[in-house]
Chains A and B, each alone.
Chain A
Amino acid sequence: MRAAIAPTIVLLLALASCRYRPARFADAAPVTVIDDTDPIPVPARREYNEAIYLSDVYLRRALVDMLDPARYPEAGDVNSLDEVPRSSWFMPNIGAVPLSLDGEPVLPLTVTRDAPRSSERGITVMDARGVRYELRRDPADRPEMSTSAEFIASRLVRAFGLLAPEVFILNLAPTDLAGWDPTDAQDPAGAVPRAFLLDGPPAVNGRYRVSATRWPYGIDVGIAPDLGVRSDDPNDAIAHQDRRSLRAWKVLGAWLDVHGMGVRKMRESYVGVPGRGHLWHFVVGLDDFLGAASVVRPGSAGGLRSDLAGGPGLSFLSLGLWPGKDPPPTQTRWPAIGALSDSVDPAGWDTPLPYAPVRRALDTDGYWAAKRIAAIPTDLIRSAVHGARISDPSARAELTRRILERRTRVVRYWLSRVTPCEVQRTKDRIVVLRDLAIDLGEAQVGSTHYWVTALDQQGSRLTRPLEVKLASAEFAIEIPEILARKHTRIVIRLEAERDGVLLPRACYVHTILQDEQLRVIGIRH
């Protein structure tokens, strides 16, 4: 009998508290800037070790996560209005300004023995001013593909608000690389430049097309771990797996068809004079974005299948002999376009290796990222593709179309995962809201209505759900006077219903009423 008391008490306590209770927001202005640029000493450089990373993600993390029942927490770099404040990780306006005044490399370029760090391919050079760049070429059978992908991705990632190194498209004559004699095939000093220039498409009018990536800015201190923080950076206070700016790669990766997203692509640079600088956090390795690393060439498998036999279970049981499904060869109509399909599965997109921020991305993180992507001007996307100097106009048009189509599909999906409602303004006891999906043309006014419920701070309903039919994307909710008299803090729960189906997550607008004036102090999607 006594043995049953403790479990019963625990069960009753658990049942008693089994309901949603909203957060309580402080009556304070939202944080708009996280100042994580205090001077720090130059941190130690960290490089990726495949064996260690694989053993950690596939063995230790797999076991430990299996025994961790806690739900993934809300992102730590999100303010009360469900937005990501500006920081060294996220710079909302970085797409509009150059990262540095260095600009294009100044010829001639001198090849160095330093290995590239922003990607596994290419060579490193110093320009005439001594500024370091990394040069890369296209695959021989896909002229303009990788270099264009690197250039376009660099622009689009920065337009999103994340840091990416600047990329320039150059057409180099062999003599633009100093220190060797291009006419002397036996010149030992020419081994590296010659191999670099010949490993790619042939020259056009005596010039070889290359991408020049400005890297690093300051001192390269290696990769950013995907779990925890960088221990020797006191500014790094939010665990990386819980940064929305990194979780956003679940959405960005699907849009830009990123091949190898993971720790190798997140590198950090120490900017400033040693001892007085701080870190910037970059995404690098952009040459395999836009499907450039996923090209399937016909006959490249030598008659053998290259897929994995229909998944681990089938592969295991069939000894790897299950027919499966090989990916079709990539189109060859436009060699400058990689394996970038205009259809995309935003929910199914994942990184090839477990990457903690992407694994922990919540619907609300995806919604935020989709908003950011939707806000990138179409003209900027067209301009990025144009700037990549793709010689075939039809390839330019097709690539632009595919990028825009993928954006539409990705944004549409993530807008459907939450109630995509944004506060426009408040007046007296009225809050004016806007349905972003309708605003972007991803949902119809006629098929949408909202259920609005007022809650108190404990999550108890103060009103019955009130149906609101929309006449446009914008609609208003008025707090009843009787409620306003009794409660200073009211949480408005908004649930959107489209075509008779409730969207998966409600939106909570936290308000405070003072002197008959309503203010919004928090939003959660």
Chain B
Amino acid sequence: MRLRTSLVCWFIVACAVMTPYVAAAQGRLAPGTAAAATSTAASAQDRETDESLPVSGKERPESEPADPARKLADVVLYLPRVAIDLLFVTSGAAAGLLDDEQVIPRLEDMFYSSDRTIGVFPTAFVETGFNPNVGARMIATGGDFAATLRGGYGGADANVVESRMRVTVASPLPGAFSIEALHDRRTDLGYVGLGPVPESDARNVFQTDSALRAGAYREVRERLIGNFGFRPLADTELLLSTSYRRRRIDDAPDAGEGALGRVFAPGSVPGAGRLNRTTYSEIALRYDTRLRRGAPTSGWMMEGYAGALRGIHDADGDGLSLGGRAGVFLPIYRRSNILSPRIAIDTIQPADASTFAFLDYPAPADYRGIDPRRDRIAIVGSLDYRWVIMKYVATRIFMDTSTVAPDFPSIDLHHLRYAWGMGMDLHSTHTEIARIAASASAEGFRFFFSLGVAPSGFGDRQHR
């Protein structure tokens, strides 16, 4: 409650402080700048004219019959208008656009140093089921170099500090090198156990006195990632990445009977209740013949990866991951109507299942319904139909199915999960900018909203 009050206060103060800047950024003159603009315009007058006059020569503007009503409506709508503008400014999504090492020109004056190389942006997130989160993001840019530092606070167990640095090169081959560091605390995360039917899988040992079959946990993690990617051919990308991850998992503090340790037998969940330190190195290759990655375009895409997970200590567990994705993008009647069947397969082979942390098992990450199951193999099949309804705006309908299994022979089609959905996106030539979508499945509804440059799809395993 106190946190929400603080958030409201912060927002009101932010509105009050930033309103003149937002007005100026919108092109309306702020109170402090009106006089300056008028005097500048007046300086342009002929010598004979009164220097306090604007270029128009008007001492008083004309008024139309509807102007009083417009002014009244303007007063009523002023706060919602400024609030929306501020929300855009302060949303992490707006800052997400900056991950593309670019600067929002409109905001430069508000948040950037005089030489426009360093900027600090406020951020705010409100997500369903999570506490509001406020913070700041610092951006530094210079030539081919970009760096961001962001921090957010949404309570004792919901905070994040992240730093990224990226250098891009255009020749001899287009490429990028980046280093990322992250610390975050998250809570009320859910684990249902391993296997396609966790309730009956012998690997999951539930407490006999608990009727619940999903446990809530808290995760505190630190992560360091190094990425190097380049494009040896026009349609081919190669990415090498390595990471160090330190993770502590314990019961969610406010979960009560639903806490991980109350649902599962003590010591039966590998990786829970202790510090887990691993490194993960991966090589990934992607071949994509589509001319554009943002707009619906025909072509086909295939990517594959191989990675090695190594525990720092014997108890941390080792594993080998392999996987890939493939998709075909077929035009239907119009060049801008694209039907795309796709499949994504992620696998991991633990060296010792008894020490292998449960969070290192793959989950069906590309599934757009609700499927928290994990196992050695996770498979997602998708069928998307996407069509452009106006320039830069496309609609999609989709159907996903997912399953997990301990090995390929054990894949059982009876345990598939299905999700159907519909969405709309705004895209540029090269990337998706904003997306809104909803999906329905037997497990419930899911709503998606994102604003900002979407991740490339490469190196995703490092960020999970």
Whether B45 is near chain A, meaning CB under 8 Å from some CB there, is yes
The SS class assigned to the B binding surface is: mixed
Whether A19 is near chain B, meaning CB under 8 Å from some CB there, is yes
A28-B49, A64-B81 given; A18·B55 CB < 8 A: no
Whether A352 is near chain B, meaning CB under 8 Å from some CB there, is yes
Q: Which residues of B contact A312 (CB under 8 A)?
A: 389-390, 393
Whether the pair A304, B44 counts as a contact (CB closer than 8 A) is no
A314, closest chain B residue (CB): B389
A50-B428, A67-B81, A319-B387 given; A225·B106 CB < 8 A: yes
**Which of the segments B199-207, B247-255, B274-282, B430-438 contacts the partner chain?**
B430-438
A29-B46, A228-B106 given; A51·B428 CB < 8 A: yes
Instruction: Tally chain B residues at the interface, Cβ within 8 Å.
Output: 84
A51-B433, A308-B388 given; A26·B50 CB < 8 A: yes
The SS class assigned to the A binding surface is: loop
Whether A406 is near chain B, meaning CB under 8 Å from some CB there, is no
- Our pick among A58, A234, A304, A311 for the contact of B392 (Cβ within 8 Å) is A58
- Nearest-neighbour CB distance to chain A for B429, whole angstroms, equals 6
Whether A501 is near chain B, meaning CB under 8 Å from some CB there, is no
Whether the pair A352, B391 counts as a contact (CB closer than 8 A) is yes
- Our pick among A25, A33, A239, A319 for the contact of B59 (Cβ within 8 Å) is A25
Whether B62 is near chain A, meaning CB under 8 Å from some CB there, is yes
Whether A515 is near chain B, meaning CB under 8 Å from some CB there, is no
Whether the pair A28, B57 counts as a contact (CB closer than 8 A) is yes
Whether B116 is near chain A, meaning CB under 8 Å from some CB there, is yes
Q: How far is the CA of A28 from the CA of B51 in the complex (A)?
A: 10
Q: How far is the CA of A71 from the CA of B434 in the complex (A)?
A: 29
Q: How far is the CA of A499 from the CA of B210 in the complex (A)?
A: 88
Whether B395 is near chain A, meaning CB under 8 Å from some CB there, is yes
Whether B464 is near chain A, meaning CB under 8 Å from some CB there, is no
Q: Which residues of A contact B433 (CB under 8 A)?
A: 51, 54-55
**Which of the segments B2-10, B132-140, B328-336, B439-447 contacts the partner chain?**
B328-336
Whether A291 is near chain B, meaning CB under 8 Å from some CB there, is no
**Which of the segments A76-84, A164-172, A275-283, A372-380 contacts the partner chain?**
A76-84
Whether the pair B41, A238 counts as a contact (CB closer than 8 A) is yes
Q: Which residues of B contact A49 (CB under 8 A)?
A: 100, 102-103
Interface size range on A against B: 35 or more
Whether B48 is near chain A, meaning CB under 8 Å from some CB there, is yes
- Our pick among A26, A242, A320 for the contact of B388 (Cβ within 8 Å) is A320
A228-B25, A315-B388 given; A70·B102 CB < 8 A: no
Whether B60 is near chain A, meaning CB under 8 Å from some CB there, is yes
Whether A461 is near chain B, meaning CB under 8 Å from some CB there, is no
Whether the pair A28, B392 counts as a contact (CB closer than 8 A) is no
A46, closest chain B residue (CB): B105
Q: How far is the CA of A17 from the CA of B66 in the complex (A)?
A: 9
Q: How far is the CA of A3 from the CA of B46 in the complex (A)?
A: 53
Q: Mark A283-311, 1 if CB is under 8 A from B, else 0.
A: 00000000000000000011011111101
A79-B57, A225-B105 given; A67·B46 CB < 8 A: no
A69-B73, A320-B388 given; A77·B57 CB < 8 A: no
Q: Which residues of A contact B64 (CB under 8 A)?
A: 20, 71
- Our pick among A51, A237, A308 for the contact of B97 (Cβ within 8 Å) is A51
Whether the pair B25, A79 counts as a contact (CB closer than 8 A) is no
- Nearest-neighbour CB distance to chain A for B340, whole angstroms, equals 14
Whether the pair B81, A228 counts as a contact (CB closer than 8 A) is no
Interface core residue of A31, A59, A71 (most chain B CB under 10 Å)? A31
Whether the pair A55, B451 counts as a contact (CB closer than 8 A) is yes
Whether A521 is near chain B, meaning CB under 8 Å from some CB there, is yes
A20-B63, A52-B97, A320-B337 given; A26·B24 CB < 8 A: no
Whether A392 is near chain B, meaning CB under 8 Å from some CB there, is no
A58-B392, A316-B395 given; A30·B57 CB < 8 A: yes
Whether B108 is near chain A, meaning CB under 8 Å from some CB there, is yes
- Nearest-neighbour CB distance to chain B for A276, whole angstroms, equals 19
Whether the pair A24, B24 counts as a contact (CB closer than 8 A) is no
Q: Mark A309-336, 1 if CB is under 8 A from B, else 0.
A: 1011001100111000000000000000
Whether A460 is near chain B, meaning CB under 8 Å from some CB there, is no
Whether A22 is near chain B, meaning CB under 8 Å from some CB there, is yes
A29-B46, A227-B27, A228-B26 given; A305·B58 CB < 8 A: no
- Our pick among A17, A23, A32 for the contact of B68 (Cβ within 8 Å) is A17
Q: Mark A374-403, 1 if CB is under 8 A from B, else 0.
A: 000000000000000000000000000000
Q: Which residues of A contact B426 (CB under 8 A)?
A: 54-55, 58-59
Q: Which residues of A contact B62 (CB under 8 A)?
A: 20-23, 524
Whether A428 is near chain B, meaning CB under 8 Å from some CB there, is no
- Nearest-neighbour CB distance to chain B for A144, whole angstroms, equals 28
Whether B65 is near chain A, meaning CB under 8 Å from some CB there, is yes
Whether B37 is near chain A, meaning CB under 8 Å from some CB there, is yes
Q: Mark A104-118, 1 if CB is under 8 A from B, else 0.
A: 000000000000000
Whether the pair A522, B333 counts as a contact (CB closer than 8 A) is no
Whether the pair A78, B26 counts as a contact (CB closer than 8 A) is no
A17-B63, A28-B57, A315-B387 given; A54·B44 CB < 8 A: no
Whether the pair A77, B389 counts as a contact (CB closer than 8 A) is no
Whether B385 is near chain A, meaning CB under 8 Å from some CB there, is yes
Q: Which residues of A contact B333 (CB under 8 A)?
A: 304-305, 320-321
Whether the pair B335, A26 counts as a contact (CB closer than 8 A) is no
Q: Which residues of B contact A102 (CB under 8 A)?
A: none
Which residues from 7 to 44 on chain A have a C-beta closer than 8 Å to any C-beta of chain B?
Answer: 10, 13-14, 17-26, 28-36, 44
Q: Which residues of A contact B387 (CB under 8 A)?
A: 309, 315, 319-320
- Our pick among B37, B116, B390 for the contact of A237 (Cβ within 8 Å) is B37
A52-B97, A69-B77 given; A28·B55 CB < 8 A: no
Whether B61 is near chain A, meaning CB under 8 Å from some CB there, is yes
Whether A74 is near chain B, meaning CB under 8 Å from some CB there, is yes
Q: Mark B404-427, 1 if CB is under 8 A from A, else 0.
A: 000000000000000000000011
- Nearest-neighbour CB distance to chain A for B60, whole angstroms, equals 4
Q: How far is the CA of A241 from the CA of B63 in the complex (A)?
A: 21
Which residues from 220 to 244 on chain B have a C-beta closer than 8 Å to any C-beta of chain A?
Answer: none
Whether the pair B56, A78 counts as a contact (CB closer than 8 A) is yes
Q: How far is the CA of A25 from the CA of B58 in the complex (A)?
A: 4
- Nearest-neighbour CB distance to chain B for A524, whole angstroms, equals 7
Whether B17 is near chain A, meaning CB under 8 Å from some CB there, is no
Q: Which residues of A contact B97 (CB under 8 A)?
A: 51-52, 55
Interface core residue of B94, B334, B428 (most chain A CB under 10 Å)? B334
Whether the pair A31, B46 counts as a contact (CB closer than 8 A) is yes
Whether the pair B334, A56 counts as a contact (CB closer than 8 A) is no
B387, closest chain A residue (CB): A320
A33, closest chain B residue (CB): B44
Residues of B within 8 A of A (CB): 24-29, 36-37, 40-41, 43-46, 48-50, 53-70, 72-74, 77, 80-81, 84-85, 88, 94, 97, 100, 102-106, 108-109, 115-116, 331-337, 385, 387-393, 395, 397, 426-431, 433-434, 451-453
In the A-B complex, the 3 residue pairs with the smallest Cβ-Cβ separation, listed nearest first, are A320-B387, A80-B57, A237-B40
Pick 13 A–B contacts, CB within 8 A, sort by A: A23-B58, A29-B46, A29-B48, A31-B55, A33-B46, A51-B453, A54-B427, A55-B426, A67-B77, A70-B74, A77-B55, A231-B108, A238-B37
Residues of A within 8 A of B (CB): 10, 13-14, 17-26, 28-36, 44, 46, 49-52, 54-56, 58-60, 63-64, 67-71, 74, 76-80, 85, 87, 225, 227-229, 231, 234, 237-242, 301-302, 304-309, 311-312, 315-316, 319-321, 352-353, 356, 521-522, 524
Give me 6 other A-B pairs in contact (C-beta within 8 A), A33-B46, A52-B102 excluded.
Answer: A20-B64, A70-B74, A76-B41, A76-B54, A352-B391, A522-B58
